[in-house]
Structure 1
Amino acid sequence: MTYTMAELKVFENWYDKAGVRATPRRLTPQDRDVLKHFFPKHLIPHLNHPLVAAQEAPLRRYVEAQHLYQWLNFTAEFEVSVVLRATQRIADNKSGLELSRRLRMDAFKICVDENYHALYSMDAVDQLEHRSGIKSLDYEFQPFLARLDGVADAHPDHRRLVQLLQVVVFETLITALLNDVPKDTGVITLVRDIVKDHAIDEGRHHAYFAEFFKHLWGQLSTSERRLVARLLPGIVVESLQPATRSARAALRHAGLSDDTVTTVINESYDRVSVLNGIVHASARTVALFEECGVLDIPDGLDAFARAGFPQASAH
């Protein structure tokens, strides 16, 4: 099946509606708002573990703050190191695909959006550190990037293709975070505002990259389709792995013993729970692949089934 990419209309009002064009700089109010939660508790598995829940409030608040900082730091790094890396190639006509001028211009708009998301993520960290007095721990993005890029290690001639798949996967995921945080009035207003702004922009990006994948798939050779079908489950799984490294660091820095930290992490992020979360968050992404015929390829069907995706098991 060959796909012709439709000319998307979601970017027609970008100059008026994009966050970087239409929203002010989000600021922390100079009042007691900063005493609210940094992040919804139900979105922090290790904070809900009995060994952490039993700790004093200041320790729990510290762990909560570090989880937010980790997410903001990750967002800033990911937007620049992964999303921009691939999207700039699309914009510069270096993706290896045939793309219209308009679709390339839309990719430039996404590049602007993602740079702005990185900027206001780091701006929020700076503001919240100053207002709350809780400093962000150092964040290392490289281990995550190494695992994500490692999916292509056995296929060095296809690294550009894998990078395009990475951005398709991540930009079409649907996570509870973008929906839940803006609605939670118990969370610091600055956090709610930037997540809401991010979600609005990501709605456009989701539509773009869903169509982009159909176009990409339509231009692949038979052998390339088989390779892509085998690699996609690994990209999905690596994109959604929980940030246990940062969680461990926060718990240790809060004063918990190494044994306690290990227990909390192992029990909060057990294999079954993590896989269930990955399957749930990637449901629409995998449905896109299924629509395009990825699961009709035996290699793809087997790869998704081995990775634990129920769509593949149902075939």
Structure 2
Amino acid sequence: MSTHHTARPHPPGPLDRWYEQAGVRTGVRRMFHEETERGRVFFPAGLVPYAGHEAVRRLPPERVRELTVRHLYQFLLSTTHLETRVVNTAAEAVANARTGLDLPPALRPDAFKVYCDEGYHALYSLDLADQIAAATGIAIPDEDYGGFVDRLRTSARRALPDAPALAALLQAVVFETLITAVLNEVPGDPSVVGVVRDLLRDHARDEGRHHRFFSALFRELWTHLSAADRVKAAKALPELIRTALTWDLAPVRTSLRLAGLDADTARRVADDCCAAGPDLRRLNDTARSTLRLCAAVGVFDLPGMREHFAAHGLGDGDADPAATEPVEQETQ
């Protein structure tokens, strides 16, 4: 006699309409057409942390333009590493039930959807960088854009030396709740070439759904942690946030040298503008959703934790802790 098991209902999830909405399912290949993009920039100078440095301002305009193109390359190619080596490491562990946690079954297929999305984001980031290099003649520097990931892992090992699996999950949660804010800065800027705006808008749309997935994962993760592990995780979060928002210096120095600065000046500019990470206002603006998520699960209710975050220049989200979800952009 056969036994029939009834599937347990679960509330609607952020990836329930993935087959109809995901970029990898419905998107088009974004193509760069140089003739329609003349007069526009490849990356907003206001988002290039060293663009305003006096040594950079003295460079010829064409060299500054090349700097913005190479900064876009760094943004795109760092993304390929982050998506495949940080986010997908965590997504695979959830998808294959290898976290060691008793997570809701519905998270597993959603994690595989995230895994597919992130591979596609890496592909089209590399594709766009190659297209722009071919069209402009501005070569992609022979750099290891994965150094950023190595720095993230070093930071995680330092913050959670006895819990590498937890560190990997927290890293993915932090990155995926930060990236939507970063991606949303460019699509509305009409001075930026259209293909870059379109690609980052595509990416932000997927990441809005990923944000909700990783927020749910963090809530589940938090409920499974012991009191002692919650304290360890909470103490690790500020460093993970700050590290995720600090540019890798090696590609910056290379780009500055290619623009005509000598090695010592390039090193000084990179150190002056990038080594410390973003200023406190930008740091907290970008991290607001991540901080609200921390508030929502009770991170700041732990003794001394508000002060610990404040020592790293981070507030508590200064808003309703329940307001952790990003606004999903509509197709334009």
Output the TM-score relative to the length of structure 2. 0.86
Q: State the percentage of identical aligned residues.
A: 38
Structure 1 residue aligned with 2:7:
none
**Can you give the 5+ residue segments of structure 2 that lack an aligned partner in the other structure?**
1-9, 319-332
Tell me how far 1:181 sits from its aligned partner. Answer: 1.5
Does 2:63 align with 1:69?
no
Q: Cα 1:7–1:107, aligned 2, differ >3 Å: closer, same or farther? A: farther
Match of 1:90 among 90, 94, 119: 94
Match of 2:263 among 258, 267, 277: 258
Whether the 8 Å contact between 2:147 and 2:248 is mirrored in structure 1 is no
Does 2:293 align with 1:288?
yes
Does 2:42 align with 1:38?
yes
Q: Count residues with an aligned counterpart.
A: 308
Structure number with the higher helix fraction is 1
Structure 1 residue aligned with 2:6:
none
Whether the 8 Å contact between 2:247 and 2:275 is mirrored in structure 1 is no
Does 2:139 align with 1:116?
no
Does 2:225 align with 1:220?
yes
Structure 1 residue aligned with 2:303:
298
Letter aligned with residue 88 of structure 2: L
Output the TM-score relative to the length of structure 1. 0.90
Match of 2:27 among 23, 32, 42: 23
Letter aligned with residue 299 of structure 2: V
> What is the distance in 2 between the residues matched to 1:158 and 1:262?
35
> What is the distance in 2 between the residues matched to 1:223 and 1:245?
37
Tell me how far 1:152 sits from its aligned partner. Answer: 3.9
Structure 1 residue aligned with 2:154:
150
Match of 1:279 among 278, 281, 284: 284
Structure 1 residue aligned with 2:56:
52
Structure 1 residue aligned with 2:135:
131
Structure 2 residue aligned with 1:210:
215
Partner secondary structure for residue 32 of structure 2 = coil
Whether the 8 Å contact between 2:50 and 2:273 is mirrored in structure 1 is yes
Deviates more, 1:286-295 or 1:109-118: 286-295
Does 2:204 align with 1:199?
yes
Q: Cα 1:102–1:237, aligned 2, differ >3 Å: closer, same or farther? A: same
C-alpha distance after superposition, 1:163-199 (max 9, x if no partner): 0000111111156542231122222222111101000
Deviates more, 1:27-36 or 1:282-291: 27-36
Tell which has more relative contact order, 1 or 2 (C-alpha 8 A, sep 6+).
Answer: 1
> What is the distance in 1 between the residues matched to 2:104 and 2:317?
33
Structure 1 residue aligned with 2:5:
none
Whether the 8 Å contact between 2:180 and 2:207 is mirrored in structure 1 is no
Whether the 8 Å contact between 1:295 and 1:312 is mirrored in structure 2 is no
Q: Cα 1:34–1:8, aligned 2, differ >3 Å: closer, same or farther? A: farther
Match of 2:103 among 92, 99, 105: 99
Q: Cα 1:9–1:192, aligned 2, differ >3 Å: closer, same or farther? A: same
Q: Cα 1:52–1:156, aligned 2, differ >3 Å: closer, same or farther? A: closer
> What is the distance in 2 between the residues matched to 1:78 and 1:160?
17
Cα RMSD for the two superposed structures: 2.2
Match of 1:78 among 78, 82, 86: 82
Letter aligned with residue 293 of structure 1: G
C-alpha distance after superposition, 1:7-34 (max 9, x if no partner): 3432121111111111111111262426
Tell me how far 1:276 sits from its aligned partner. Answer: 3.6
Tell me how far 1:272 sits from its aligned partner. Answer: 8.2
Tell me how far 1:73 sits from its aligned partner. Answer: 0.5
Letter aligned with residue 22 of structure 1: T
Letter aligned with residue 150 of structure 1: T
Structure 1 residue aligned with 2:234:
229
Tell me how far 1:218 sits from its aligned partner. Answer: 0.6
Tell me how far 1:48 sits from its aligned partner. Answer: 2.2
Whether the 8 Å contact between 2:88 and 2:118 is mirrored in structure 1 is yes
Letter aligned with residue 22 of structure 2: A
> What is the distance in 1 between the residues matched to 2:45 and 2:20?
35
Partner secondary structure for residue 308 of structure 1 = coil
Q: How does 1:8-19 map to 2 (within 5 A)?
A: 8-19=12-23
**Can you give the 5+ residue segments of structure 1 that lack an aligned partner in the other structure?**
1-5
Q: Cα 1:239–1:30, aligned 2, differ >3 Å: closer, same or farther? A: closer
Letter aligned with residue 23 of structure 2: G
Whether the 8 Å contact between 1:301 and 1:312 is mirrored in structure 2 is no
> What is the distance in 2 between the residues matched to 1:232 and 1:265?
25
> What is the distance in 2 between the residues matched to 1:78 and 1:8?
28
Tell me how far 1:56 sits from its aligned partner. Answer: 1.2
